[in-house]
Structure 1
Amino acid sequence: MQQMMKRHEVPLELTWKIEDLFKTEEDFQKSSEEVFLLAQQFENDYKGQLTQADTLLKAIQEYEQILLKKSHIDEYAFLDFSVDMSDANRASRAGKTEILDSKINTILSFFHSELIHAPQELLEEALEKTPIYKTFLKDILREKPHALSPETEKALTALFNTTESFHGIYSQALHADLNYAPLTLEGKEIPMSFVKFENEYQIHPDTKLRRESFEAFSKELRKYENTVAAIYNAQVQKEKTMTTLRGFDSVFDYLLFQQKVDPSMYHRQIDIIMKELAPIMRKYAKLIQKTYGLEEMTFADLKAPLDPEYAPKITIEGAQQYVEGALSVMGEEYMSYVRPYFKDRWVDYAQNAGKTSGGFCASPYRIHPFILLSWTGELSEVFTLVHELGHGAHFGLAQQEQSFFNQDISMYLVEAPSTCNEMLLSNYLMKQKDDPRFRRWVLASMIENTYYHNFVTHLLEAHFQRKVYELVDKGEVLGAETLNQLKRETLEEFWGDAVKINDGAELTWMRQSHYYMGLYSYTYSAGLTLSTVISQAILHEGQPAVDRWISFLKAGGTKEILDMAKLAGIDISTDKPLKETIAFIGSLVDQVIQLSQKL
């Protein structure tokens, strides 16, 4: 077996240019010390002094600059650690940066607390005087009814790393403590691990391998179900405690308040998809069953590829051509945020030992985005690249137009710019070839990756999560048996008689880190709803739709969710966009079935 390269062996052109953030280690250390001193000076200058609107606005400006500088330090430590987590120096720097971060947050905690407790008329006077910090001050006024005493707020800030530790403990349990024995299949020993199963075996065309690996994977997971249940219960009970402390009626109200989302929008997303998408996905499951000649379609078969022998390959240079071809419809301004990824080393493509899995985009304010991938040369990875480029171009445009505080979009909409790019890539690929097999591959990729990931996997997480919080609001304590039952009920409701829910499928809740991020899972389908509608508008309308979308991307976090969507010409106060998206998914499934009949 070929060993993975060490980080120092990776060709330079496959790595990102991290020195665009800090040229040297000395620059990084100097900036870290400077930010700490700035935080201390800020406390000396403003603690107990926020009595005048002008003073308050000057303090907000300085506070913003400190957080901006701190964000660059945090990003640098995180990004450099992510490319080689086995490197002791990188690990040490990341750990020290986390400690520094905690110290600075504790020093600065007085500011948010004093703002929250400032007289209403002072905040409103400051609001009238500033065009830049209106959103920031409106958020303070919005939070004011839920504020705790200054001493309590400071204590909560000091305890932040502790109260937010459950995700880290969960990750350690799953990725460090689980120990998978090798699989024996037809006399051959096959290595087994969490990553191997998720990235390779569950999507493998060999049904025996797919099912037996699922069984082995589930068997090992089950050993830790009580431990992980205890961790997850601690997380949701913490959220319930914060709900009570801050005076919210339910955990849903508390978590959705942070997203600025009306509960009706949240519940609508889950209810409609569970009812109207389920029959469509059952139809697709039956197509997979027919393709593989399975007597019975099981949960372990759901991610089997429709055409496993057709896996187009592509070089990085070829990917660049596809990406630029697909996104050129967005116009020159947008493309100015796309081209540098390839010529200026904004992407880390390398596969090396110690590198974190998956893909992501980080966007340090007004530096440039950094994208992490592990490039294998599969055409499917172009979808990952163009997805992350969507995040990067979005933040590039937003940061160009908005202040540091105004750049962030609501979580409800955050996946729209990235998934829109996936749709634009699919539209482009469909125009490149008339070959039915290639066209089926593109359509199936949209279903199996873009829509399955966002509208099925994450939506079923959201449905399960809703059941969990309903019990938590009633004062229930959650154990493994209850969580398993809730997950099985969710899967059975969605898949009906079309799919047998294997033993072990109920443990799927143990595999998702999103449960430690509040009500995050449902937002994937919300973002993709918006991006489906706008990408179809771009396809059929052209420039007018592009102009609307660019306006949306530039707005950052300056508008409420409904008004943001209206910038793109979409009314999400109704269920029309969601129903249109589900109908679009249905049309994709029908097209794939028709093409399959011809092949």
Structure 2
Amino acid sequence: MNQVPKRSEAPAEYRWKLEDLFASEAQWDAEYAKVREQIGEIGKFEGKLSDAAAIAECFKLEDELSLATERLYVYANMRHHEDMAEGKYQALSEKAKKLSVEVNEALSFITPEILSLSEEKLAALTEDPSLPATYKRTLREMLREKPHTLSKNEESLLAQVGNVSQAPSTIFGMMNNADMKFPKVKNEKGEEVELTHGRYIQFLESRNRDVRKEAFKAVYETYGKWRNTLAATLNANVTKNLFYANARHYPSALEMSLFGDNIPVSVYDNLISTVHEHLPLMHRYMALRKKLLKVDELHMYDLFAPLVEEFDMEIPYDEAKKIVFDSLAPLGDGYRKVLQSGFDEGWIDVYENEGKRSGAYSWGAYGTHPYVLLNHKDNLNSMFTLAHEMGHALHSYYSDENNEYRNAQYTIFLAEVASTLNEALLMNYLLDKSTDPKEKMYLLTYYADQFRTTVFRQTMFAEFEKIVHGKAESGEALTPNELCQIYYDLNVKYYGDGMEVDKDIEMEWARIPHFYTSFYVYKYATGFSAATSFAKQILDEGQPAVDRYLGFLKSGGSDYSINILKKAGVDMSSPEPIAQAMSVFEGLIEEMEKLTEGR
């Protein structure tokens, strides 16, 4: 195994250029000092935010402060991520974090003070011609939130409850990550190995069925021993959601969680009902999986088993860049010109080095090009990661170029669309070019499993959350047995009669951390569906669809997410985008069935 290089040994052409954000540490220090001064200035507006002139001046300073703090924070943390063990940047990161907290505290009076104005006064301000459009939009958003904002004393009380409300999530995290110990299981070589969260998926991907089965049983038996405690913890989280929904006058916990993005409940319900209509496709994919694995019965522990014999695609980084560039040709020359700038001009930190943060992300601050952190390996997965993260980066680039600071940040609801669309176009390109049946099958199963895990599985999670909260809201008790039954029945429904739904799976709800960030997972499924729908439109229609898509990228956060998508030709309140995604999934299954004929 080659030694991982130190940061200082990483070649310059494969490192990001953070100097584009701050040319020197001295420049960072100067900006830091300026922000510290401005923190004192913001206080002069307290008690005076009752007319358009004062509000405009205050918002202007708020934007200056927020942007400068964001730049300082992003730079310090990206330096820290280059080598997490480097003390100098650990300290810089901490310094930026503390400043960020101070700035947020200094700005915290603005929203409550404006919300204390009468509804009439606030409504008049949203129409005031002397205010810039972006400020009027902020005020309209505050007016929308006003019915759910409480008196100063009540808000103060809710803020104090904040730490207590974190308890279910904190307790689950400690129990799941620190206290829960799994037994030893046998690996492929017959060696006894301690089972961990990280190793569990590796075991489920094993070619040896006994290894998969033993790991599966061991995990759920362990959770089963704690079923009462874990049910009580999840119950406490549901109770917390109901408390906040009630306190803030929302009709339900679901409506409260969708309110921030202004997403109608119909979008959530529509996702579930449209996926239900297309469950026969999932059942068909399970039948194909059973055939390819050559098993008499398909079990839950067979879901991650590889369907094709080992197939390694060696793709060096420079080749990966070229393939990604070529695959995104349908998006036009303008898009690819920006992409090439990203490749050539120091946006990307490519390879692993000692102490570097793991994983991959796209990040940055308004006013400077985005940055991408990778830990590139020369394989297919890393090439998809490159396409994915550059999708995020170009979304940020277009958003920043076309919007003022206040409107540039897109929501989480939209965040995964641009990244997943790039992956869809890359996959389409690779499948078109592939002549090797083995390679083609490898790609098809890779893509089909993304549909299974991102659309079907996340929708099943979303449905579980909806059922559980609905029962609690109607006064029913969520006993361990009840939670297990709901979860088991959903698995039977989603995987179909051709699957042996092992009883052990009834405990899976107990190991899903996302259930403590309630009503979040549906965004994975809607984002994937929207991206697949965009890709289909771009490949079918060409330029008109490309123009609509680029309009989406340029919109940033200038309107509500659902409206931005609708204008671009993807209406998430209708079944169509999900149905379009499902037609792509059906096409994959048909291709796989053709390749397996005669097996």
Superposition TM-score, scaled by structure 2 size: 0.89
Is there any run of 5+ residues in structure 1 with no aligned partner, and where? none
Matched residue, 1:255: 257
Task: Give the residue type in structure 2 aligned to 1:120.
Answer: E
Distance in 2 (CA, whole Å) between partners of 1:226 and 1:95 is 39
Superimposed CA distance per residue, residues 406-441 of structure 1 (whole angstroms, 9 cap, x where no aligned partner):
123344333221211111111211232333333333
Alignment of 1:517-556 (within 5 A): 517-556=517-556
Tell me which residue corresponds to 1:68.
Answer: 67
Q: How far 1:6 sits from its partner (Å)?
A: 6.4
Alignment of 1:83-482 (within 5 A): 94=93, 97-128=96-127, 129=129, 130-154=132-156, 156=158, 163-164=165-166, 167=169, 170-180=172-182, 182-185=184-187, 186-190=189-193, 192-198=195-201, 200-222=202-224, 228-273=230-275, 275-351=276-352, 357-449=358-450, 451-475=451-475, 478=478, 480-482=480-482
- 1:16 offset after TM fit, Å? 3.8
- CA displacement 1:4-27 (0-9 Å, x = unmatched): 666666555555444544455565
- Tell whether the 8 Å contact from 1:106 to 1:157 is kept in structure 2 after alignment: no
How far 1:388 sits from its partner (Å)? 1.9
- Aligned-residue CA RMSD in angstroms? 3.1
Distance 1:582 1:107, change over 3 A: same
SS of 2:263's equivalent in the other structure is coil
Q: Please tell me whether the aligned partners of residues 462 and 519 of structure 1 are also in contact (alpha carbons under 8 angstroms).
A: yes
| CA apart distance, 1:77 | 4.8
**Cα distance in 1 between the residues matched to 2:253 and 2:73:** 30
For 1:491, the aligned partner's letter is: N
8 Å Cα contact 2:488-2:503 kept in structure 1: no
Question: Measured at CA, do residues 432 and 418 of structure 1 come closer, stay the same or move farther in structure 2, by a change above 3 Å?
Answer: same
Report deviation, 1:535.
Answer: 0.9
Change (3 A) 1:288 1:102: same
Letter in 2 for 1:380: N
Contact 1:201 1:210 in 2 (8 A): yes
Aligned partner letter, 1:487: Y
The separation in 2 between residues aligned to 1:167 and 1:416, in whole angstroms, is 28
Stretch of structure 1 that moved more, 520-529 or 506-515:
506-515
Secondary structure of residue in 2 paired with 1:249: coil
Aligned to 1:588: 588
CA distance in 2, matches of 1:576, 1:4: 48
Indicate if the aligned counterparts of 2:16 and 2:347 stay in contact, CA closer than 8 A: yes
* Unpaired segments ≥5 residues, structure 2: none
Query: Is the CA contact (8 Å cut-off) linking 2:261 and 2:560 kept in structure 1?
Result: no
Shift of 1:224: 5.5
Deviations 1:106-140 (A, max 9, x none): 33211010122223344334333222223322211
Farther-moved stretch of structure 1 (579-588 vs 352-361):
352-361
Deviation at 1:320, TM superposition (A): 0.2
Look up the equivalent residue of 1:390 and give its one-letter code: G
Report the CA distance between 1:192 and its aligned residue. Answer: 3.8
CA drift at 1:352: 5.3
CA contact (8 A) 2:263 2:562 kept: no
- Which region of structure 1 is more displaced relative to structure 2, 345-354 or 404-413? 345-354
Query: Percent of aligned positions with the same letter in both sequences?
Result: 29
Query: Residues 564, 3 of structure 1: CA spacing in aligned structure 2 closer, same or farther, 3 A cutoff?
Result: same
Post-superposition shift, 1:63? 1.4
- Aligned amino acid, residue 596 of structure 2: S
Q: Is contact 1:261-1:412 (8 Å) kept?
A: no
Does the 8 Å CA contact 1:52/1:122 hold for their aligned counterparts?
no
| 1:569-594 deviation line (CA, Å, top 9, x unaligned) | 23444322322322321221111111
Contact 1:347 1:372 in 2 (8 A): yes
Give the count of matched residue pairs. Answer: 595
Task: Find out whether 1:58 has 2:57 as its counterpart.
Answer: yes
What secondary structure sits across from 1:361 in the alignment? strand
Per the alignment, do residues 25 and 427 of structure 1 end up closer, same or farther by CA in structure 2, a change over 3 Å counting? same
Q: Secondary structure at the match of 1:406?
A: helix
Q: Deviations over 1:499-549 (max 9, x none)?
A: 223354233334433333332211222122222222112112212211110
2:507 is aligned to 507
- Secondary structure of the residue aligned to 2:490 is helix
Alignment check: 8 A CA contact 2:261 2:561 kept: no
CA distance in 2, matches of 1:463, 1:241: 21
Do the aligned residues in 1 keep the contact of 2:50 with 2:114 (CA within 8 Å)? no
